[in-house]
A and B are shown apart, each in its own frame.
Chain A
Amino acid sequence: MGFFSKILNSFQRLRLNNHNAIRGYLLDHLLVGSMYAEQQSAYLNSYETGLNRSNIVTLAEEYWGIYNREQAIEVLQNLHDRNQDENMEIVYRAFEDSENYVDILKSNLPKEEGFFEHYIDLFRQLNNTVPELMEQNIITDFSQIKKTKDSGWNYGRGAFLARCCYDLGYLSENELKEYLEKCHTDLKKYCTTWKEYTTSYIFGRAVWGGSNNSGMIQIANDLLTNDNSPLKNKTYL
């Protein structure tokens, strides 16, 4: 049933909750998770996701390892902290300086086994991803990414995952509202516009998962241009 409902939902682009819609600034907070919500064919405009409970359980447990409230809080906090990773600044700096990248990475990244390799992998992903995104006209140059980083991807996943945790009873409505507000506030430090948010999300996903981001690009376009999208007439976060 869950599988078929997901297929049915995928044909109904941009799911909106007509009974319990959030409006105003609270909607802005909610929309930080809109890319992930749209990926999952969830409601864009309410705290409840509108997804089948078994689908939410699968997403929380299998994809995120969340089985209870404590794990939910830990994962959500981790996603929130990702953008404060100073080592990523080093990776970005190395990417911009192709002549000196070896020195930059070797002298500044943590030497502990596993850590160094983790950031080298991210550096390699940047090398693969950025030219691809430029070819696809998602970005015009790296400076765009340097500003936004993968904030959209991190806060975006956090915001939607928090809604899933709310549906599962791991977070109260107040806790969810607080978390979404925090995501929105912190996202604004990196992204000025919703367009920057969707681009940053696409970038983050590409670094994580490699090529084939046409689906993400389509979702971003839908969110920004579809007449029914809550993001349609919004420019600034």
Chain B
Amino acid sequence: MSTLIFIPIVLVIAGIVFMIYVNKKHKTAKGEIDLNFERTKYDQYKQELLANDFSQLKHWMKGKAIDAFTSASVPQSTSSKVQEIVTDGLKNAALSTIGVKLRRVETDCFWVLSGNDLHFFTTNTVGELDEHIVFDNFRIEDAKLEYGGVLKSQLGVYSKSSEEYLPKTHVITFYIDGSPLSLEIHDRLNYVTAPEDMLNLKKQLETRAKYQVVGERFLDILQNKVPHLKVA
């Protein structure tokens, strides 16, 4: 019998050992992060992320204050509705003006709360600013907020064990001249592992924690600003 038969067996065993090793390391690294303690560093993390990973937001806001920020998305239902608006013509001019800016659903989007206004940014496929929509205080006061569950567009991409990393969403629905327009607020900033961090689990988890700490505070700050905006 050839010794070649042992090669796949060795590879399978090595793979299992590696997975056990990675899982153990993951558990250890995760155990080192106390999310409650991390939450106390919100201000520090917010400034850090605005200075580095999300510095584009400062540029897009053109010097206006950034009170809070997080990731966002355009629900498929909104995108489909926008398509109807475009196809059927301008029945609601204000909604059409906003709606045509929301046709892209798969690229990164952001919310920024600045003073009395909510700024919604969409990006193109290379992360550059695509559209900037401002919802003023009067639109926010009329809006409705409800829990939207785990971000549906990302379900299925992750394994069950990774579900904890999926963003949970709230859906905010604005009424533009009586017509509803829904957008999603994520409870964390969207994290994509940088190639140089692929093997650095500790750094990945630390960054994820920062993104969560900063992103999850967005809704609280918004609700404090607009108390009427309670979850339906």
Contacts and interface: CB of A to CB of B under 8 A. Distances in A.
B116 A127 contact: no
B115 A98 contact: yes
B160 to A, nearest CB: 46
B163 interface: no
A99 B138 contact: no
B44 interface: no
B115 A99 contact: yes
Interface residues of B, number: 11
Interface in B88-139: 93-94, 97, 115-117, 134, 136-138
A103 to B, nearest CB: 9
Could you tell me the dominant secondary structure of chain A's interface residues? helix
A120 B94 CA distance: 13
Contacts of A127: 134, 136
Interface string A105-142: 00000000000000011011001000000000000000
B230 to A, nearest CB: 19
Contacts of B115: 98-99
Main secondary structure of the interface of B (DSSP, over half): mixed
A231 to B, nearest CB: 33
A123 B94 CA distance: 13
Contacts of A102: 116, 137-138
Contacts of B93: 210
Nearest to A121: B94
Interface in A63-108: 98-99, 101-102
Interface in B122-171: 134, 136-138
A101 B97 contact: no
B97 A120 contact: no
A98 B94 CA distance: 21
Interface in A223-237: none
Given A98-B115, A99-B115, A101-B116, A210 B97 contact: yes
A187 B119 CA distance: 38
A102 B141 CA distance: 11
Contact of A120 (B64, B116, B117, B138): B138
Nearest to A101: B116
Contacts of B94: 121
Contacts of B137: 101-102
Contact of B136 (A99, A124, A210): A124
B163 to A, nearest CB: 40
Interface in A19-66: none
Interface string B195-226: 00000000000000000000000000000000
Nearest to A131: B62
B141 to A, nearest CB: 9
Contacts of B116: 98-99, 101-102
A72 to B, nearest CB: 28
Nearest to B64: A98
Contacts of B134: 127
A98 B97 CA distance: 22
B137 to A, nearest CB: 5
Interface string B53-97: 000000000001000000000000000000000000000011001
Contacts of A121: 94
B149 to A, nearest CB: 32
Contacts of A101: 116, 136-137
A47 B1 CA distance: 109
Nearest to A116: B138
A12 B117 CA distance: 47
A58 to B, nearest CB: 22
Interface of A: 98-99, 101-102, 120-121, 123-124, 127, 210
3 nearest CB pairs, A to B: A102-B137, A102-B116, A120-B138
20 contacts: A98-B64, A98-B115, A98-B116, A98-B117, A99-B115, A99-B116, A101-B116, A101-B136, A101-B137, A102-B116, A102-B137, A102-B138, A120-B138, A121-B94, A123-B136, A124-B136, A127-B134, A127-B136, A210-B93, A210-B97
Given A101-B116, A102-B116, A123-B136, 12 more contacts: A98-B64, A98-B115, A98-B116, A98-B117, A99-B116, A101-B136, A101-B137, A102-B138, A121-B94, A127-B136, A210-B93, A210-B97
